[in-house]
Structure 1
Amino acid sequence: MPHRSPDLARLALTVLQPGFEGTVPPRWLLRELADGLGGTVLFARNLTGAAQTAELVARLREENPAVVVAVDEEGGSVTRLQAATGSSWPGNRALGVVDDVERTKRVAGEIGRLLAAADITLDYAPVADVNANPANPVIGIRSFGPDPGLVSRQTTAWITGLQDAGVAACAKHFPGHGDTVTDSHHALPTVHASLRLLRERDLPPFAAAVKAGVRAVMCGHLLVPALDPDHPATLSRKIMTGLLREELGFDGMLVTDAIEMGAVAALHPPGEIAVRALAAGVDAICAGITSPDGETVRELRDAIVEAVHDGRLPEDRLAEAAARVLALARWYAENASVRKARETPNPGGEGEDREEDGDLGLEVARAAMRVVTADGHEARLSRPPLVVDIAPRLSRAVDPDTLTGVAGALAELLPGTVAYAVASEAAELPDLGDRERPLVLVAHDARRQAWVRNLLARAVRLRSDAIVVETGLPGEPTGAVYVTTNGISRASARAVAQWLTKGQ
């Protein structure tokens, strides 16, 4: 009979990374942390500003100094700490378009400084997926691009910059979410690529991440028949252990994407997903949505303990997983001096600190911006415009209130700017007949969203002088001026507004 630890419950708690509601830690969370809960994940719903974030994390660490505090801070459209204002730094697509590894390191380093100031352990970033399918509804601009060589070198640079700041990076979504047409938040995507194509296209960035010393990897809820026709990657020992551990040589912490996502939630109850993922080789279970009283966490803990007692999950596998979580926490503690040396955050390069970086976010956003101007048209705004933001709901990875920010950035430079949002296919365009007021049309992924494309075309037919700003993947140029930002961020919005009002 195998040896059974007297503290299986503590081991089970160590491998859990739940989210919670509210801007102060609930009592159940503090209680579980005191009992050994190994991690928690923060969302925009938990955060109201830098001081509050730091205070929140400090309270968590009072109960468990080694807690792995994680957050999705990719830059660009996926930001938690800057969700209210938009990210100070362009996201991966913009960095990939610029393709300057030194600037990518600096951007990731600045994000690291922001997280370190709040004492956050782990950033669920960078996205290392190769966006091979332009119709992808969830990756898109979150990827560095469609070329595996580009994505590999940018992933390496991003990891290096973040971890040099003393914050752990997490490459995602292994083995690659770029060639899908289904959002795993809703249903299980299938990657229909051959093994050869996977090895040539999807896997190199993750191999590069491992080589760069990435401290964590997040697996994607994906069915990849060429690797395992029977199980999603999250629950596949062939993929998690055979491919990632044994073939690619990764020995850091392997964490699931959120287990309440539709891709796996439709297959098994949460506790069963956790048990099967751990058995496959995963070390940490991310549960972004939990019950208000913490019952979800206790149910996950009990399911894991029961699986060990039943022999379905070897105790040494659970102990190994817990040890990897604690090893990541130890790495973070050992890098305290690195964070101390760089402790003053400098979002976007603003302020007096790190003067040598200037306004880094704006600098990169300008470099990533592309403009096509029709003959005879002036790409300059001298009067307050009407800005029509054709803004579809972005993927569920993005906070629901995230906007492109272009209207706000223009309003700062041209007071009197009027903003109008078109949020759905059923909505109508405003009156566009006032030609004394310039028209700016802002779209996101028009090439992928037929209704956005149709509304855009209708508006341009009515106003051939319209300036079109595309914040997603570039499509066919349209309008008198066609600007592509290659991403959504406060930095990108500022770059567009400055270019349109000053003409460069």
Structure 2
Amino acid sequence: MLWPGFLGRSTPDWLRRELDAGLAGVVLFAQNLAPAGGRAASAGERIDTSADDLDVLRRSTTDAGARPLLIGIDEEGGNVTRAEAHTGSNLPGAAQLGFVDDLDATEAVGRELARRSLAVGANVVLGPVADVNTDPRNPVIGVRSFGADPERVSRHVVASLRGIRSAGAAACVKHFPGHGDTHLDSHHAMPELTIGLDELERRHLPPFRAAIGAGVEAVMTAHIVVPEWGDRPSTLNPVALGRLRELGFDGVIVTDALDMAAVRESVGAGPGAVHALLAGADLLCISNPANLGAAAAPDQDERDFREVQHAIFAAIDDGTLPFATVERAARRVGRLADAVAERAAVAAASVAADDGWMPRGARRVAREAITIDGAVPALPGARTVLDLRGRSTLAVASDRDYVERTLAAGGEVLRADAPVPERGALVVLVDRIGADRAQRDRVSAVAAVRPDAVVVDVGLPGEPLPLPTLHTRAASLLAAEVASELLESGVRA
């Protein structure tokens, strides 16, 4: 029932022992897939892990006779990628796909996300995002959502599921009951939905209903409080998870990471794991131990795992956690692992296949997703990029400088507090103009002294800005490359 992350590109001894003892599997993060020797991977390259010790995980998912493992990975395209975290994704993200509204394209992207996941040894894609993003202030979902309309989100979620499954992987839709109407990031705080149950049912549950109807095998919970369901976040709330079962879902309920502040700073990861199992969760995503950065201990991965494991053992010993609850969860997880393993031959063929959609189809979607305010002048050659963006959510967890480097085309990159350059082509990079007043004010200040500057907005559009603006709806390598091409030639709305 436990799904930890780990540090490094090789399988730690403690993790090998736990896998031998029956651990469900692991979740892969960017630090597990970094190019060997710090080599910079080329855009769209599939990182090969076969040369190192991590291959033990891949063999466990494909070799006949091996116990099947569930290997998860956050591959969403757009802003969120693990396999391409060091280069940026060259696949469209959800906001781009939802805006273009081409279901065949969304299915093709889902298929490619699954192929790339399988290529690095993962057989569970932690996506698509089924959240309906109705709050423009949302700092953690935003462009990761297919949009603000529940019907549009529903049909794209189903299309993405079709694509993922057709390539041989399992999908895990997220984040039930919907993280789209929040203005706090559950990585750092405890969000609370301020809407009533009627609106929740009408606007935020339809994509989950559609996914269940399409046969989704796993659903990830959100660490958000729905007051009418009580004061516990949905991950730890039997009312919330009971509602998911009432919708007809009989697959694996996966928790969002238990090290996120919404759980860690309220009840703690260990007690939170026990509460989640008692509430009806089946598979406990423990953490990305690299989230602590320099504060992480050398054995942070094992520490995080043991905290949860020991809390569960103690709760079984003292009767707080009935063993029947543990067995129920383990059975569901085992059924999913068996089902994914049965697709191994199909998955191997799908990884090698190429339906011709990439890269031309991806670039078409990225271009059609861009909207333009005003007349963007041609800015050929090197440009100065003034990056006004704040820190990204831990959900992104990837290098971000590929966006500004691509837009700069060999020019200089300046941070938000730098003086505005007096001459030369200037691009102002923003991502939250609909919610971050400081970004809007800074753009206005730049416009007063450099009316010839151009804004590239990689978030969701808000009110018009006082400068010509390209809205890309993604902070990805693909979106930056297409925007840079438009800057090279100039374009009008």
- Give the alignment partner of residue 414 of structure 2, picking from 411, 421, 438: 421
Distance in structure 1 (CA, Å) of the matches to 2:362 and 2:414: 26
Q: 1:206-253 deviations in whole A, cap 9, x for unaligned?
A: 111111111111000011012x1232111111111x2011x1111111
The counterpart of 1:31, out of the listed 17, 20, 24, is 17
Conserved in 2, the CA contact under 8 Å of 1:393 and 1:400?
Answer: no
Give the residue type in structure 2 aligned to 1:421.
L
Provide the C-alpha distance between the structure 2 equivalents of 1:314 and 1:59, rounded to a whole number of angstroms. 33
Mapped to 1, the partners of 2:313 and 2:467 lie a distance apart of: 64
1:243 aligns with 2:243: yes
Are 2:244 and 1:254 equivalent residues in the alignment?
no
Residue 272 of structure 2 corresponds to residue 273 of structure 1: yes
2:38 matched residue in structure 1: none
Q: Is the 8 A contact 1:253 1:328 kept in 2?
A: yes
Choose which of 473, 485, 488 in structure 2 pairs with 1:498.
485
1:356 Cα shift?
Answer: 4.9
2:123 aligns with 121
The offset of 1:419, in angstroms, is: 2.5
Q: Normalised by the size of structure 1, how large is the TM-score?
A: 0.88
Write the letter of the residue equivalent to 1:428: A
Deviation at 1:464, TM superposition (A): 0.8
Instruction: Look up the SS of the partner of 1:440 in the other structure.
Output: strand
Mapped partners of 1:383, 1:76: distance in 2: 25
Q: Secondary structure at the match of 1:21?
A: coil
Q: What SS does the corresponding residue of 1:441 show, helix, strand or coil?
A: strand
1:446-465 matches, cutoff 5 A: 446-465=433-452
Hey, what does 1:151 align to over in structure 2? 153
Contact 1:57 1:69 in 2 (8 A): no
Question: What is the match of residue 135 of structure 1?
Answer: 137
Which one of the candidate residues 399, 402, 407 is aligned to 1:401? 399
Are residue 40 (structure 1) and residue 33 (structure 2) matched? Answer: no
Classify 1:274/1:489 alpha carbon distance in 2 versus 1 (closer, same or farther; 3 Å): same
Q: Distance in 1 between matches of 2:191 and 2:27?
A: 24
2:94 aligns with 92
> Relative to structure 1, is the Cα distance of residues 389 and 56 closer, same or farther in structure 2, using a 3 angstrom cutoff?
farther
Find the residue that maps to 1:28 and give its secondary structure. Answer: helix
Which residue does the alignment assign to 2:233? Answer: 232
Matches within 5 A, 1:165-176: 165-176=167-178
Q: Against the structure 1 CA distance between its residues 457 and 400, is the aligned structure 2 distance closer, same or farther, given a 3 Å change threshold?
A: farther
In structure 2, relative to structure 1, the CA distance for the partners of 1:404 and 1:459 (3 Å cut) is farther
How many residues align structurally? 466
**Structure 1 position 325 matched with structure 2 position 321:** no
**1:118 Cα offset (Å):** 2.0
Question: Is residue 57–residue 118 contact of structure 1 (8 Å, CA) maintained in 2?
Answer: no
- 1:111 alignment partner, SS class: helix
Moved more, 56-65 or 299-308: 56-65
**How far apart, CA to CA, are the structure 1 residues paired with 2:377 and 2:336?**
50
Q: What is the SS of the residue equivalent to 1:201?
A: helix
Contact 1:121–1:329 (CA<8 Å) still a contact in 2? Answer: no
- The answer as to whether partners of 1:373 and 1:379 remain within 8 angstroms in 2 is no
Task: Measure, in 2, the Cα distance between the counterparts of 1:477 and 1:384.
Answer: 26
Name the amino acid aligned to 2:351. E
Q: Does 1:365 align with 2:355?
A: no
Partner of residue 488, structure 1: 475
The amino acid that maps onto 1:405 is: V
Distance in structure 2 (CA, Å) of the matches to 1:382 and 1:289: 41
1:448-479 deviations in Å (ceiling 9; x for gaps): 12222222111111111111110001123335
Between the aligned partners of 2:59 and 2:402, the Cα distance in structure 1 is: 38
**Contact 1:465/1:479, CA 8 A, preserved across alignment:** no
The letter of the residue matching 1:187 is A
Give the one of 407, 414, 427 matched to 1:440.
Answer: 427
Structure 1 78/356 Cα, relative in aligned 2: closer, same or farther at 3 Å? closer
Residue in 1 aligned with 2:348?
340
Q: Give identity over the alignment, percent.
A: 41
Q: 201-210 or 440-449, which moves further after superposition?
A: 440-449
| TM score, norm. by length of structure 2 | 0.90
Tell me the CA shift for residue 127 of structure 1. 1.0
Contact persistence 1:28–1:293 (CA under 8 A):
no
Alignment match, 1:59 = 56
2:440, 2:465 within 8 Å by CA — same for their partners in 1? no
Question: Larger deviation: 298-307 or 18-27?
Answer: 298-307
Which sits farther off after the overlay, 212-221 or 41-50? 41-50
SS in structure 1 at match of 2:195: coil
Q: Which residue pairs with 1:379 in the alignment?
A: 377
Q: Contact 2:146 / 2:153 at 8 angstroms: preserved in 1?
A: yes
RMSD (CA atoms): 2.0
Alpha-carbon offset, residue 302 of structure 1: 3.0
| SS, match of residue 71 in structure 2 | strand
- Cα distance 1:189–1:51, how it changes in 2: closer, same or farther (>3 A)? closer
Instruction: Assess, with a 3 A threshold, how the Cα gap between structure 1 residues 269 and 475 changes in structure 2: closer, same or farther.
Output: closer
Q: Deviation string for 1:85-106 (max 9, x for gaps)?
A: 1111121111111111111000
CA 1:369–1:298 in structure 2 vs 1: closer, same or farther (change >3 Å)?
same
Cα 1:25/1:311, change in 2 over 3 Å? same
Residues 109 and 289 of structure 1: is their aligned pair in 2 closer, same or farther, counting only changes over 3 Å? closer
- Structure 1 unaligned blocks of 5 or more: 1-14, 346-352, 412-416
With over 3 angstroms needed to count, the CA separation of the structure-2 counterparts of 1:79 and 1:293, relative to structure 1, is: closer
Cα shift readout 1:2-31 (whole Å, capped 9, x = no counterpart): xxxxxxxxxxxxx00011111212111111
Say if 2:404 and 2:413, in contact at 8 Å, map to a contact too: no
Change (3 A) 1:159 1:293: closer
Q: Is the 8 A contact 1:468 1:479 kept in 2?
A: no
Matched, 1:263 2:262: yes
CA distance in 1, matches of 2:49, 2:361: 23
Q: Note if contact 1:422-1:429 (Cα within 8 Å) is conserved in structure 2.
A: no
